[in-house]
Amino acid sequence: MRNGDVWTITAVGDDGTLTIARDYGTGTKVRADGTIAVRRRGRRFSGSIVLPATYVSESVDLGYAVTAFRAQGVTTDTAHVLVEPTSTRETFYVAMTRGRHSNRAYAALDRADDHAEPHPGDDPNATARSVLYGVLQHSGAELSAHETVVAEQEQWGSLAQLAAEYETIAAAAQRDRWATLIRGSGLADEQADSVIESEAFGPLTAELRRAEANHHDVDSLMPRLVAARGFGDADDIAAVLHYRVERATARPAGSGRTRKPPRLIAGLIPQANGVADAEMRAALDEREALIEARADAALDGALTESAPWTKALGTAPNGGRRVAAWRKAARVVAAYRDRYRIADDTPLGALPESAAQKIDTARARAAIEGARNVNRPASSPTHPAVREAGGPSL
């Protein structure tokens, strides 16, 4: 018996022993006339083997559940593959080519080592599609020293990583402020405690930060939302408040010419305000500067390489204020692509799945339209019928 051999269990003893037999399967041979001969392969050993209970408990694994490394060279009728975010595309390829008739992948979205506080790089909005996409981008091939340095710089300097760090720091820096806001919003002490201890408190604080970036006065808004309706039938008050804040602040505060643009980093990430701790504020400011620089670099790289997706932005103006307006819109799209690791030729890639990405997609789509509008003549009548309805003119 060799390590890794696969046997068939023929009997299970009450004392924990197993009786096993080796099946060498069948072989095929194509004759000269085109017919196929099927014969049973010979056996080097015949009969059965009885495995002691201690050996079974310590050294025997299920033959149908193996790692991708051990699965190399194995062929089955069907293969069912468990895919984790840390898997590599090489092992994924091996696992997904073991089945003759079907190969199915099951993406793991939960983590066995969930931690109380979020870590940079965690994706609470992960979907099966995003996990599989990440695996296909994750190569396990051994790199040269130079390639390793470049890959590490790209990973830790990407907008995806910098945005995750910014939001993690913002969540920690503003936690006490939002907790104070909740406790003073009109909720009973028990209700306020349940909100702060809820898993939905993190998404609620992120929504409050987004609302504040849209110039909403959250200090006066929260008491109004609490008083609007009771929580007698609510299973999770934090989730209910998140929904109310999201609906109440869907659009920026103000109207018409008085409406101010949202305070967004690289056109996507809401700024964190009201941070009193000097070290936290410095850390946030540092990430903000890095994110802005990364967005500029991403756009410059795409333009230098004439990336196909840049065609959707229209032609860049030659100079003056219009080129500044065009770049401002274009860098939002470049930042969006870098944040969500989009590599295809379409500007926005596949349809978004998480709520946060849907918001960013809308911003990037508006930026594409804004870049195109820069080159449109201001005097061109966008709505001729409306202009003509205003009455005669000279």
Whether 177 and 229 map to the same domain: the answer is yes
Q: Are residues 97 and 172 in the same domain?
A: no
Q: What is the pLDDT of residue 25?
A: 52
pLDDT score, position 216: 93
Which one, of 196, 180, 235, 170, lies nearest residue 116 by Cα?
Answer: 196
pLDDT at residue 384 in the model? 41
In a domain, 313, yes or no: yes
For residues 229 and 249, state if they share a domain: yes
Say if pTM beats, i.e. exceeds, 0.75. Answer: no
The reply to whether 167 and 266 lie within a common domain is yes
Q: Which domain holds residue 53?
A: 1-60
Which tens digit of pLDDT belongs to each residue from 170-201? Answer: 999 999 999 999 999 999 999 999 999 999 99
Confirm whether 286 is domain-assigned: no
Q: Assess if residue 297 is contained within a domain.
A: no
* Residues 85, 137 share a domain: yes
Does residue 287 sit within a domain? Answer: no
Q: Which of 91, 107, 142 is the last residue of a domain?
A: 142
Q: Tell me whether residue 11 is in a domain.
A: yes
Residues 164 and 265 in one domain: yes
* Total domains present in the chain: 4
In a domain? residue 381: no
Q: Within this chain, do residues 86 and 53 fall inside the same structural domain, yes or no?
A: no
Within this chain, do residues 34 and 78 fall inside the same structural domain, yes or no?
A: no
Per-residue pLDDT tens, the chain, 394 aa: give them: 677 677 888 899 999 999 988 765 555 555 666 665 555 444 555 568 899 999 989 888 877 777 777 777 677 788 899 888 888 888 888 889 888 889 999 998 876 555 545 555 566 667 888 888 888 877 776 666 665 655 666 666 789 999 999 999 999 999 999 999 999 999 999 999 999 999 999 999 999 999 999 999 999 999 999 998 888 888 999 999 999 999 999 887 876 677 788 899 999 999 999 898 999 999 999 999 999 999 999 999 999 999 999 999 999 888 788 999 999 999 999 999 999 989 889 999 988 888 888 999 999 999 999 999 987 765 554 444 333 334 333 3
| Residue 284 belongs to a domain | no
230 and 201 share one domain: yes
Q: Are residues 194 and 119 in the same domain?
A: no
What pLDDT shows up at residue 85? Answer: 83
Say if residue 234 is in the same domain as residue 329: no
Residue 47's pLDDT is 67
Q: Is residue 383 part of a domain?
A: no
Identify whether residues 163 and 264 lie together within a single domain: yes
Q: Which of 142, 174, 192 is the last residue of a domain?
A: 142
Answer with the one of 270, 296, 314 that is the final residue of a domain: 270
Rounded-to-integer distance, Cα 19 and Cα 323, Å: 78
pLDDT (0 to 100) of residue 321: 86
